[in-house]
Amino acid sequence: MKRPYVVINCAMTADGKIAKPSGEQLKISCEEDMKRVYQMRNDVDAVLVGINTVLSDNPKLTVKEKYVKNPKQPIRIVLDSKCRTPIDALVVNNVSKTIIFTAKQSGKNYSDNVEIVICETDEQGFIDLKQMLEFLSEKGIKNLMVEGGSTIINSFLKRGLVDDFYVYVGPMIVGGNKAPSLTIGDSLNLKLLNSKKLGQGILNHYRLK
């Protein structure tokens, strides 16, 4: 299949959690890592999240001039099988183009910069990642950054649809078994390409074997 080059970027605690038990965003990255993340967004064609991230964190998925001068805003991708993205969500503002992949017509009046794409779903009712990636490739998107949440990241990893995998490990512990973590169900072999200290945390760069 033809698809964009896929990069996953996420931050987790020392005990492997990527959000609070409620699913809300947890500030893990240090200032140095935030600058790296915004530079990565600036360098890719598109940035992707799932609907749960949109509903819980309301992200813009844009590049801040605080971190990147004269930023190039990426296309924003939302995987939303039931088209629950609110019309006032920050991810559909007019700063950049947004593509929402859904399994049904929405009937919502999004602004002109929002494209709704009807897509097939997998056995779990989630957007079919292969069909979605093929569509993006046909649109000329050559590289894609996947930012979350845990369900989306785990789905990409489980299906082997990942080229580079960046994980920032912050110096904190959340604890408990309800907080979202990276759990794909099966073991996955990675090759560590680089590891370096950023602030008080560690950034690891992997490739799938």
Cα distance between residue 2 and residue 187, in whole Å: 26
Instruction: Quickly list H helices, 44-162.
Output: 51-57, 129-138, 150-158
Q: State pLDDT tens for residues 35-76.
A: 999 999 999 999 999 999 999 999 999 999 999 999 999 999
- Please report the pLDDT score of residue 184 as a whole number: 66
Cα–Cα distances in angstroms (integers) from residue 189 to residues 3, 92, 158, 184, 206, in the given order? 22, 36, 11, 12, 10
What count of other Cβ atoms lies within 10 Å of the Cβ of residue 27?
9
Token pair for 30: 């240090």
Share above pLDDT 90 across residues of the chain, in percent, rounded to a whole number: 79
Contacts of 75 (CB under 8 A, 6+ apart): 45, 46, 47, 96, 97, 98, 99, 141
Overall pTM surpassing 0.85 (yes/no) = yes
Instruction: Quickly list H helices, 97-209.
Output: 129-138, 150-158
Least confident of 10-24, 41-55, 151-165: 10-24
Q: Which domains does the chain have, with CATH numbers?
A: 5-208 (3.40.430.10)
Peptide bond into 149 cis (omega under 30): yes
Q: Identify the three-state secondary structure at position 192.
A: strand
Cα–Cα distances in angstroms (integers) from residue 28 to residues 21, 78, 167, 192, 206, in the given order? 14, 23, 11, 21, 19
Please give the mean pLDDT across all residues of the chain: 93
Give the amino acid at 32. E
Q: State pLDDT tens for residues 161-194.
A: 999 999 999 999 988 788 888 876 677 889 999 9
